[in-house]
Structure 1
Amino acid sequence: MVIALFFSCTESKETSFAQTKDIKVVSPNFTVDSIFFKNNATINFRTAIGNTELRYTTDTSNITNNSKLITTPLKVNKSSFLKVKAYHPDFKESETIKLQLKKVKHSISNATVTINPMPSDSYPANGPSSLTDLKSGTIQFKKNNTWLGFNTKEVTIKVDLAKELTLSTITLHTLTAQGDWIFAPEEISIYSDSKLIGNYNSKNASSQTKESTIIDFIEVPVTTNTYSSFAITIKSLDKIPAWHPGANSIPWFFIDEIIVE
């Protein structure tokens, strides 16, 4: 009886171990002091299970179990595309967490910003000043007052700088959540003194995304020059594409920050 019980327990443990090997370890939670930063950003991670290792990359390369190990709060001092995975000896590796961080060359918090038309009353954030306050929205956009949401085909944002700046790129920080009818813009045009200085066209704005929610930096190169003001015209898709439940409706567009460099 004792021998039979011993083998029964051993088999149960082996079966349990084999089953956990088919389960992914939980992805880590994280907090970041600022997505946009002047000097550096600090990211703190928390794991749900002990004996979990976190591996990361700060470029576009894929993570492996030989990638750099996170042992303390992670600091970055340059614009980075951070990827993090959790590894545990008893489970499959976790899903990849992705986080894009942007080092800011110029603060334009003192700029005068006007928007036409104004954002929806449902997603007004703090008005035009939200676009220059270096505060990032999150994927939980319904619980966050940082995103400006527009349900219109075209938006124009005019920025009058407090002082002249030499610029080569203007970046828009945007959110796409197609399940909530929020789509990436189809075209972005940037003007200064009515002259076109930069243009962006997306070939994928109407394509179905693999991820449910995407926070993205859209970088628009502009003619390198010294500017005192510029205007950004953002055009959404004419209508939500046929594959979507909201087909033929006007899509939403979400933005929370404009960065210049």
Structure 2
Amino acid sequence: MIDKLELLIALAKEKHFGRAAEACGVTQPTLSAGIKQLENILGVLLVQRGSRYLGLTPEGERVLDWARRIVGDARAMRQDLHAMRAGLSGHLRIAVIPTALAMVPALTTPYRERHPEVRFTILSRTSAEVLRLLDDLEVDAGITYLDNEPLGRVRSMPLYRERYVLVTSQDNPLADRREVTWAEVGQIPLCLLTPDMQNRRILEKMLARSGAPAQPTLESNSMIVLFAHVRTGRWASIMPEMLAGTLGLTETLRAIPITEPDVVHTVGLVLAPREPGTPLTNALETEAKRVAQALNR
């Protein structure tokens, strides 16, 4: 039964019979037969059939919700039993918004010191992708904004509060200021994240409120790309204060707090709404509490 639910989850994700079969490591006829057997067991039509995938039926969407819960719980049970026998080990997958990537070692490094048999995959994703991957059981946890856009059905834990600075060269007319306003920042050419990033939407909202809509001269989905351009001395950007400090300012760069207003957003850990959690995510929550206490002293 669980293996057939996993087939349904894969089909809903890939929206294509062939790709779903490949993702599950089975042939397309095997996948189709598995979905058909699941329909027979439940007595409802799950997939709208045609010459290609047309989507799930309303009953299929409801079963998909249950499938994610059941498959997630089954994986958690297996992980829990393994941890009882052999200690904590396995693979922890975390999706992270670009602006929070620099703080991830504060979680993973002490985690691995306590649990050396755990390995990690860290993915840089938009806030929307973080939630989708978590919902589709493709990651175990996410790090994203908690208070700006709806999170949906997740458990969350605040890690730190994000403030913003103007990162620019010493040649910029604003470089000698102790602080600058959003209105002033909106008057200079900026390089910013792409519009699909929630950080970009936060900054656009603040700049628009100040009467200076964002008009970036360069966009990227990578903070490293933005910072590399700023380091040339020819560009300026708005970055989270913590990230700017982690990337490291040179003698020719300045990070100037942006005020009027002093904008703060909460970044935190998000997990599937499953109780109890898996041993891996339970240990991650414990580590996150330590990090939050350290960052918010």
Q: Give the TM-score normalised by the residue count of structure 1.
A: 0.29
Q: Which structure: greater strand fraction? A: 1
Return the structure number with greater helix share. Answer: 2
| Higher relative contact order (Cα pairs below 8 Å, separated by 6+ residues) | 2
- When normalised by structure 2's length, the TM-score is 0.26
